Structure 1
Amino acid sequence: MDRFDRGEHEFRGLIGAEPQDTLAELRLRSPQMYDLIIRGMGVTMAQAELSRTAREIATVAMLVTIGAADPQLDLHTRAALNQGVTPAELIALCEHVAMYAGVPRALNGLAVIDRVLADEGFPRPAALRRVRLTDHETFVAQRGAEGPPVVLVHAIGLDWRMWEPVMAELADTRRVFAYDVRGHGLAMGAPAARTTGDLADDLVKVLDELALDRAHVVGLSFGGAVAQATAVAYPERIASLALLGTTDQPAEDLFESRARAAEKDGMAAQVPATLPRWFTTEALAVNGWGVQYARERLLRGNVADWAASWRVFKTLDVQGKLGSFPAPALVVAGSVDVAGPPEAMRGLAGRIAGARFEELPGTPHMMSLERPELVARVLGDFIE
């Protein structure tokens, strides 16, 4: 394989299309320029020091920065999507460029990227609003403008974006909200909660700020603890309750050990212990957006917030208190979830009045990140 052949191979792998088709107009204008570009790709792009994803992120950033390169930015935005770069990352890239190359060029680049995303069928970003709770501020994301309200509560160490892969599907006929729990995301560094009851108060305050009398509440893992505590304290505010990969029996010694491990060794040391508990080995090997996002959130986490969250999880006191829960309830287990195994989730369902139990095949603990299509389907069917 000579330089030209390698260049064609790299073009296909990077851009996801045949070079002679994508650059057909260039071949007509200047066959020599076409040859120069393809041969150049056979040298520079063939090197493995930068991944194809990293190269496309760098290329998009440079094209936005230099400006007046709309056709090239269009092509490389599509190539970035082909390499697994998400719409949210492309938008964040423009926001980053604004800090270094100026707002006008970032806005112009964002306009091109927005057109490509629309052309490829991606929805616009979720609407974000800042909400003031009793003693801290948080972010609430929203998709959908009509229909019954659904509020999603995220897992420990993450933020509202954990739900982003399922929000668009649920929002077809609903208003879907996700917020940052105290000590997470925008609410990082907020005063620590003493009990899960404090987190239930926060959730109800979010409902108040959104002018929602009642909502369908969905919680995964730690978020499921918050949802249960809210259902016990404020059953009249819950239109339905969906609990995913969670527990009503906090493992006090285990949770305390996780808090202390971070205090002793820092957040980076929690990644090797946490990600295999959250994802399948296949997902970790592929290292897609969900795994990358979870890893980054853990690495950027605040030790004090992480430790406080595990300690407040220990205070969950709901077992036996939902036996007469008046609203519909759903309990969802992942068939390969090691943190919330199916047998434990089935037992939880048996302790909630009339709860329906669903087991999702091939699904691990962080189900909204690894199997969002299954999660969206089961929640959509239940809320209907």
Structure 2
Amino acid sequence: MNRYERGDREYQGLMGGAPDQDLAAVRQRSPQLYDALIEGGFGGTLAHPELSRTDRELATVAMLSALGGAEPQLASHIRGALRQGITPTELRALAEHVSLYAGFPRALNALAVIDQVLTETGEPRPATLRRVRLADHETLVAAYGDSGPAVLLVHALGLDWRMWEPVMATLAEAGRRVFAYDLRGHGWATGSPNPFGMADTAADLVGVLDAVGVDRAHVVGLSYGGGVAQTAAVTHPERFASLALLATTDHPFDAFESRARAAEDSGMAAQVVPSLTRWFTAEALAVNGPGVRYARERVLRGNPADWAAAWRAFAGVDVQGRLAGLDKPTLVLAGERDASTTPAIMSTIADRIPGSRYQELPGTPHMQTLEQPELVAAALNDFLPAAS
């Protein structure tokens, strides 16, 4: 393979289209410049394997944003970045980063181009964000949708509200008001008072509902968030219109305390491998897609004291058998490949809740929304009511 052929191949790998079609105008104006671009650029530097295609597109978008005056090229590379698996959230964060090092005018211009490309490709606008003061700390509430039944999403331990981002817009588009918030000790609420118990997390959930003006919500909790949701359903059933339990437990596991001590003794970097291999399939870890990248970064940036406090709170979950009289529509959603809260564990939870619906998602591990968001969204769309 000569450099021209390598450049043609690399252009298609990075940008998706055929260069002789995408760059036809350049080739017509200057065949020499076209050849230099394909042979020297895409067939040379850009074909080198030291930087991945994802890293190269992220770097290119950053440099073109900082440079300014290259909006057509910036738009092309934003499309290339999306093709390489860079998410709209990461692109918007990149514009924020540019504002610190190249100034707000460059960042605002880049953000306008990012927004234009995302609109063209059908990506939803970002969630609206609101800071909310609870009893003893401040948290962040994200929202999609202006009308319809209220849905409150409760995230897993070690993550934040963004673990729900892959499904929020889809749920809202069907005619719902969809909210997600940062649990104490997570995300915006990092460093909130600890130790605490599951009763405190349940009170926080009710406080969030009060803050957003919702009397009764359809509450969805995943993993630790499922423990929080179940605790709140036991103590405040009047605030629930329905309950969806994803990849969770109604009783503590012996491993919870050891996970708390592991962070205190070894720090957060040592928690990445045991956490991610418990949360994702080997295939997802190999691909290193957006969900895996997000989860890894959340664990690495976590506060050991908050991590330990959350695991110890979860070790006090006490809801087994106490939802039998809830009398609310309940969905129990298991992942076929969940090695943590297995289908056997989840089906037993469903057995303990009369009238609940049990469903198993094929090929799905513990972090359902981060690896199989389409399946989760479809299951929740089928379960949750929406505005007619």
- Whether these two folds match at TM > 0.5 is yes
In the TM superposition, residue 233 of structure 1 has moved relative to its aligned partner by 0.4
Partner of 1:27: 27
Give the Cα separation in 2 of the matches to 1:234 and 1:202: 12
User: Aligned-pair RMSD on alpha carbons?
Assistant: 0.8
SS at match of 2:45: coil
Partner of 1:295: 296
In the TM superposition, residue 106 of structure 1 has moved relative to its aligned partner by 0.3
Partner of 2:197: 195
Give the Cα separation in 2 of the matches to 1:10 and 1:306: 43
Give the Cα separation in 2 of the matches to 1:194 and 1:108: 45
Give the counterpart letter for 1:31 in structure 2: P
In the TM superposition, residue 169 of structure 1 has moved relative to its aligned partner by 1.0
Per-residue deviation, residues 89-139 of structure 1 (Å, max 9, x unmatched)? 111000000011000110001101110000011011111111111111111
In the TM superposition, residue 194 of structure 1 has moved relative to its aligned partner by 2.1
Partner of 2:210: 208
Partner of 2:96: 95
In the TM superposition, residue 353 of structure 1 has moved relative to its aligned partner by 3.0
Contact 1:153 1:227 in 2 (8 A): yes
Give the counterpart letter for 1:161 in structure 2: R
Give the Cα separation in 2 of the matches to 1:81 and 1:65: 19
Contact 1:245 1:345 in 2 (8 A): yes
Give the Cα separation in 1 of the matches to 2:125 and 2:196: 37
- Given the two structures, how large is their TM-score scaled by the length of structure 1? 0.99
Partner of 1:240: 242
Partner of 1:36: 36
Number of residue-to-residue matches in the alignment: 383
Give the Cα separation in 2 of the matches to 1:276 and 1:322: 31
Partner of 2:49: 48
Give the Cα separation in 1 of the matches to 2:236 and 2:354: 16
Percentage identity across aligned positions? 64
Contact 1:193 1:199 in 2 (8 A): no
Partner of 2:15: 15
In the TM superposition, residue 326 of structure 1 has moved relative to its aligned partner by 2.1
In the TM superposition, residue 336 of structure 1 has moved relative to its aligned partner by 1.1
Contact 1:229 1:318 in 2 (8 A): yes
Partner of 1:376: 377
In the TM superposition, residue 193 of structure 1 has moved relative to its aligned partner by 4.8
Partner of 1:3: 3
Give the Cα separation in 2 of the matches to 1:151 and 1:21: 47
Per-residue deviation, residues 267-297 of structure 1 (Å, max 9, x unmatched)? 1111111111101111111110001110110
Give the Cα separation in 2 of the matches to 1:19 and 1:92: 29
Within a 5 Å distance, the mapping from 1:76-225 to structure 2 comes to 76-172=77-173, 173-225=175-227
Partner of 1:279: 280
Structure 2 unpaired stretches of 5+: none
SS at match of 1:84: coil
Give the Cα separation in 2 of the matches to 1:242 and 1:112: 38
Structure 1 unpaired stretches of 5+: none
Give the Cα separation in 2 of the matches to 1:181 and 1:194: 12
Give structure 1 regions of 4+ aligned residues with deviation exceeding 3 angstroms: none
Give the Cα separation in 2 of the matches to 1:257 and 1:183: 18
Contact 1:78 1:116 in 2 (8 A): yes
Per-residue deviation, residues 9-67 of structure 1 (Å, max 9, x unmatched)? 11111111100111111111111111111111211011111111101001000111010
Give the counterpart letter for 2:29 in structure 1: R
